[in-house]
Amino acid sequence: MALYDVPAPAKINLFLHVTGRRADGYHSLETVFRFIDLCDSLSFDLRQDGKIEREAGVGLPGLAPEDDLVLRAAHALQKATGTRQGAQIRYEKRIPAGGGLGGGSSDAASTLIALNRLWQTGLGRDELMALARPLGADVPVFIFGRPAFAQGIGDILAPVNLPERAYLVVHPQQHVPTAEVFSAPDLTRNTACVRISVFADWQKINAPNNGFIQDGLFGSNDLESVVFAKYPKVGHAAKWLCEQGFSARMSGSGACFFVEFVTLQQAQVSRQQIISKLSREHGDAFVQESWACSGLIDHPLRHWISS
């Protein structure tokens, strides 16, 4: 038995507010998560000897097994359920590491979902989310499986309805470590809390007019100023996108930015325009990759789990 080409989608944070710092050192956040169709791909072959092994795949240079969230997720499910089955795992990365798109967290979540199916361990969504939490703050939302308004450390989730949108995603040539950003002394940690209804009302008021986004994006990403100061290529990319007339926002702790569009065609046209202009003006000085992506209504594996 096997499961091949299992998708692990990227996420973007439509906004990210840091509302406080907890006694345990973690930060209190408010954000809206949205999945996009930029995906890693994982494959799982069943093993009867109980071993869990990772084959060399695309995009995994220098990732030690003990640091691999995919292997940690597989072992966590195996231990929690007592199954004697194992898996041979292979995956290919498209989501950049250190980009704020949740690639490692998404890979871990898709591993829990896929192996729960392959091993027939029968865990429900709440049980898988409980296994996901110790793996990382972003892992539970991928198990949750829907666009979500998140509070706490990002793990208190409520479903939120989002309209169909497309995104231009730009990856600067810089890796940003999340822990370093959150530990920065100049990080603002007192943004006022908002209610999910405020965000929902804002979406209605700011509906597109004549097929175009009108007034930018809701809220802010409170991590941007810290990242721009510490990582100049990220700040340079933000400044350049603004100069091109784009209302761009950093996702998570960076380094990637997204620009929202009504249609995928608009995102594709804008991507071609910035590729052409960057090539003429800057070569590849500060942008590594870019993608035109559709926003997803649900996680592609949502219905693999019983609620």
- Per residue in 24-43, pLDDT (tens digit) is 777 889 999 999 999 999 99
Q: Give me the percent of the chain exceeding a pLDDT of 70.
A: 95
Q: Tell me the two tokens of residue 268.
A: 């594709």
Are residues 142 and 202 both part of a single domain?
no
Residue among 40, 68, 138, 222 flagged as catalytic: 138
Last residue of a domain, one of 141, 160, 179: 160
- Token pair, residue 121, equals 């361990």
| % of residues, the chain, pLDDT over 90 | 68
Q: Are 147 and 32 in contact (CB under 8 A)?
A: yes
How many Cα atoms occupy the beta-carbon half-sphere of 155 within 13 Å? 17
Q: What is the three-class DSSP state of 57?
A: coil
- Name the pLDDT band for 57 (thresholds 50, 70, 90): low
Q: Smallest Cα–Cα separation from 260: which of 223, 297, 215, 227? A: 215
111-115, 188-192, 233-237, 289-293: lowest mean pLDDT where? 188-192
Residues 6+ apart with CB under 8 A from 86: 46, 47, 48, 49, 50, 51, 52, 53, 78
Residue 278 has pLDDT above 90, yes or no: no
Tell me the two tokens of residue 16: 């990210």
**Side chain identity, residue 210:** N
Residues 66 and 155 in one domain: yes
Position 178: which residue type?
A: T
> 196: pLDDT confidence band, cut at 50, 70 and 90?
confident
- Are residues 102 and 227 both part of a single domain? no
* Domain identity same for 48 and 74: yes
CA-CA distance, 297 to 163, in Å (whole number)?
8
Q: How confident is the model at residue 284 (pLDDT cuts 50, 70, 90)?
A: low
136 and 14 inside one domain: yes
The boundaries of the domain holding residue 72 are 2-160
Please say if 5 is a catalytic residue. Answer: no
305 within domain boundaries: no
For position 239, which CATH number holds? 3.30.70.890
Give residue 38's pLDDT.
98
Please check whether residues 184 and 149 belong to one and the same domain.
no
Q: Is 138 part of the annotated catalytic residue set? A: yes
Closest CA to 138 of 43, 42, 8: 8
In a domain, 303, yes or no: no
The strand ranges marked E within 22-165 are 27-47, 52-54, 86-92, 148-151, 156-159
Whether residues 187 and 131 share a domain: the answer is no
Task: Report the DSSP pairing between strands 156-159 and 287-294.
Answer: unpaired
Average pLDDT, the chain: 91
Show which of 130, 160, 190 is a domain's final residue: 160
pLDDT at 112: 98
Q: 287 or 10, which is more confident?
A: 10
Nearest to 138 by CA among 204, 69, 45: 69
Contact predicate 259/248, CB 8 Å: yes
The active-site residue out of 11, 68, 107, 155 is 11
Residue 299 domain-assigned? no
In tens, the pLDDT along 60-80 reads: 656 788 889 999 999 999 999
Amino acid 99: pLDDT: 93
pLDDT, average across residues 139-166: 95
Helix (H) or strand (E) holding 232: helix 232-243
- Are 96 and 288 contacting, i.e. CB atoms less than 8 angstroms apart? yes
Q: Which of 62 and 179 is assigned the larger pLDDT? A: 179
Q: Does residue 91 form part of some domain?
A: yes
Q: What is the pLDDT of residue 32?
A: 97
* End residue of a domain, out of 110, 143, 160: 160
3-class DSSP assignment, residue 27 = strand
Better pLDDT: 178 or 263 = 263
φ, ψ of residue 233 to 5 degrees: the values are: -65, -35
Exposed/middle/buried for residue 161 (C-beta within 10 Å: 0-12, 13-18, 19+): exposed
What are the pLDDT digits (tens) for 210-252?
Answer: 777 766 789 999 999 999 999 988 999 999 999 999 999 999 9
Using CA atoms in the order 73, 170, 63, 4, what is the torsion angle rounded to 10 degrees? 50
Does one domain contain both 100 and 248? no
Burial (Cβ within 10 Å: 0-12, 13-18, ≥19) of residue 126: exposed
| Strand, coil or helix: 21 | strand
Average of per-residue pLDDT across 49-53: 96
Domain holding 64: CATH number? Answer: 3.30.230.10
What domain count does the chain have? 2
Which tens digit of pLDDT belongs to each residue from 75-105?
Answer: 999 999 999 999 999 989 999 988 999 999 9
Same domain, 128 and 228: no
Instruction: Kindly state whether residues 7 and 100 are assigned to the same domain.
Output: yes
Q: Are residues 125 and 178 in the same domain?
A: no
Q: Which two tokens stand for residue 8?
A: 């692990």
